[in-house]
Structure 1
Amino acid sequence: MTASISIVIPIYNEAAGLKAHLTGLQALRPDCEIIAVDGGSNDSSAAIALPLVDCLLGSPRGRARQMNAGAALARADIVLFLHADTVLPPQAPQTIRQALANGGVWGRFDLGFASAEPIFTVIAAMMNWRSRLTGIATGDQAIFVRRTAFEAVRGFPEIQLMEDIALSKLLKSLAPPCCLRAKVLTSARRWRQFGVLRTVIAMWVWRWRYFCGADPALLAAEYYKDS
């Protein structure tokens, strides 16, 4: 059976939660193929992923590079980019196929956080509203795209940060996004680690600086310095 969707997952030192994440995707196989791209982890991420994916490959670290490497090996007509700490909603493949069957080229899910704290409900609502208003998707929203369209824009620009925004801008030149109401759930770990208010402000500042022409490499150095 040929996979209808290729799920590309960039990983880097994700050992703590990777087995549970990939185990949750097993029910989607073989309708979906799972491709994990390791960016040089120094923990057991690659060993954990190996028996739970259809393809495991290595790549220089960086989400854009890793996702491009995975997409280059994708066999399906639709590619879904999924972060290692993001959980798909039920019936995600069917929802994606239906959206694209109605004339869509690319899209993303609404976002929710795996937390019951009200502040994260507010943050997610703001992110989803902003995405609908601007047509810009974040990587946490599980971007999906027809492989032909992804190839037409030459994939993710290989910058060290804001690759999701850069890809969205390219894909918007082909078609508006399909903004699905179904929600992916992503981890609130980083938000808690660095403080919710601090993270919100930092995200807005980094995005503004990027739109104003700041070097993504400089922004990435700031973003990852405490990771």
Structure 2
Amino acid sequence: MISIIIPVINEEENLKKLLPYLQENNAEEIIIVDGGSTDKSREVAEKFSAKVITSAKGRAKQMNAGGKAATGNILYFVHADSLPPKNFSAAILNHLTEKIQFGCFRSLFDTKNKFLRFNSYFSRFKGMMFRGGGQTLWITRDLFDQLQGYDESLKLMEEYDFIKRASKRSDYRVIQQDVLVSTRTYDDHGNFRTQLVYAFVMFGFFRGIHQNKLLRFAKFWLK
């Protein structure tokens, strides 16, 4: 069984779109991990019969809490503002093997903007620089447990760290189907600025720059 885990903080509007979409496409278990919403995220989740749990704020903490609460032997981490392909369950099961125990999809920004469409194109390739949380991530329960989940000390780049560690234990697959990804951060701060900040943060993270410095940098330029 595939357990879908969605970390949220104030994602009421996105959940109204995502949850019925997942149900229409045969989702077996949906777990909403609320990190302290002040809107109606919990009410919306309960309306669509999703399991709602509470966690300390922080994406890594929320995803780990969801992983612990899940009953499936495959965990599928989805951002509230992303829409997986309609046949996501079958696609995951078709690519799961003994050698490939985790993976993601390509991403496609929900826009006609040529810059962001060009950006999306590279998500079809393997390699850390082409990854992103919006692509969603699936992983076997066994491998998730071996890794002891996400690193809860991280305030950013937790998914990149997770993929890096998982890659040491298993090969992974980028399924050549698109997850529709929100452009809200790009819309708020501009395409070029947002992409440049993301690039600097990724470079700094893998160069060992302390996460607090990277977080201050990102907040300054994306405030």
State if a TM-score over 0.5 links the two structures. Answer: yes
Change (3 A) 1:172 1:185: same
Correspondent of 1:106 among 94, 102, 116 = 102
Deviation at 1:146, TM superposition (A): 0.3
2:17 counterpart of 1:26: no
Question: In the TM superposition, what whole-angstrom CA distance separates every residue of 1:51-93 from its partner, at most 9, and x where no partner exists?
Answer: 2243101111111100000000111110000000000102110
Determine the C-alpha separation between the residues in 1 that align with 2:14 and 2:127.
Answer: 33
CA distance, structure 2, for counterparts of residue 136 and residue 125 of structure 1: 9
Give the match's secondary structure for 2:127: helix
Are the aligned partners of 2:3 and 2:72 in contact in 1 as well (CA < 8 Å)?
yes
Equivalences for 1:71-110 in 2 at 5 Å? 71-101=67-97, 103-110=99-106
State how 1:138-153 maps to structure 2 within 5 Å.
Answer: 138-153=132-147
Unaligned runs of 5+ in 1: none
Q: Secondary structure at the match of 1:43?
A: coil
CA contact (8 A) 2:124 2:176 kept: no
Cα deviation for residue 136 of structure 1 reads 6.7
Provide the aligned C-alpha RMSD in A.
1.8
CA distance in 2, matches of 1:224, 1:75: 36
**Is the counterpart of residue 37 in structure 1 residue 33 in structure 2?**
yes
Aligned equivalents of 1:176 and 1:184: distance in 2?
21
Offset, 1:101: 3.8
What is the TM-score when the length of structure 1 is the normalising length? 0.91
TM-score with structure 2 setting the length: 0.92
Q: Which runs of 5+ in 2 are unaligned?
A: none
- The equivalent of 1:12 in structure 2 is 9
Instruction: Specify which of 149, 156, 179 is matched with residue 155 of structure 1.
Output: 149
| 3-state SS of paired residue (2:171) | coil
Query: What is the CA–CA distance in structure 2 between the aligned matches of 1:117 and 1:221, rounded to whole Å?
Result: 29
Name the amino acid aligned to 1:110. Answer: R
Q: Distance in 2 between matches of 1:193 and 1:150?
A: 34
